[in-house]
Structure 1
């Protein structure tokens, strides 16, 4: 019933045709850390391009129910779609990087193998599917390490702050770690090993696929991340 009501509410957008100018309220859900460090920088450009849109954005690590909560688009990390009535568009890869501050490494040493992490204070992201299990790969080698530490936090930005302060070793998404790494406040650890990449997707109800405001946001983000990837490749 909720889906039917939502479909009726947006039927006028679909009927308006592909040339309709995006307008009205656009409800967006995104994870807190990704929203604050990445999406928030892009939304002003999107708003300037479509001034008739009203952006209603919620940053929350709770996975929203798009139909029940009334969201037009949700940005999510990799994972199966919980509802067959949803569609997804891949936007960008999500790399996770092992990091620590120079201060921490000077006091405790730099681990040279994944196994060495068991003797270090590892800061744990509790929203991960298996928070204490870190899986590293190098060529054909795969090593799974059970880590432990004195901080368990459900937000990557807070974990990054603790790592910069010298509290321990942390596995961070690139959109959080990128700035501190470039500025020298964090250092990469075990660069020859990698953690499996994930992807950020734009997820939306299938019946809103033709809504101009939904198409506008997704097309904008696809172009933004394609340009960012091209610049990274040239660098």
Structure 2
């Protein structure tokens, strides 16, 4: 899954693709590079980010979804709002990716169920402006597993078909670095829930600390693609359904290396 941020304040690319034409060109480039799905989002979810209005979000994503879909790409809409998701599906999107797992908008699950499209539900404990205050766990893997299980049950109860539900542990969302590493190490316990899993570690802050001495500044987001490729390969080998990345070629190269090793005599 290639990331197409149509935001002025993304942590990873700082609004480089904010203009619709730039976002479309970037999406087409990711698709040509081998992305299977283009994930278009108009709301930054970096820690501390403010929410755009519904009108702003619609204005950002709809032209991009429409053009990418018309070009033949498989598009997912990254939104927490049922109104935006519905409009994006009308514009050609085929998947809804909700980082709140349907919690931010009570109308989301019913809308997705009626549309009969795949729904990606992330582990979520609150909006970006306060989510890190909820980064407290008794045992992070067990807690996230239990919360995802309850969320899946609720979504199935709203009419979303089990075969269309994908879960996401929410790396970096209400998680400290140690939480993220534990979740990666124990992906098997999350896969045991029986649903496909999406992993999105791409350029997250915890990757920026690898190899950095305490007290020194973190590696900036654009220098975290090698670490992203490593974690994405690890997740793929664990059996996840998909990985969400900003830089497609490096992750695909890592996947090819892994496959070559596995297939060697």
Q: Which TM-score tier does this pair reach, normalised by the shorter chain?
A: under 0.3
| TM-score, normalised via structure 1 length | 0.27
When normalised by structure 2's length, the TM-score is 0.25
The answer to which structure has the higher strand fraction is 1
Ranked by relative contact order (alpha carbons within 8 Å, sequence separation 6 or more), the top structure is 1
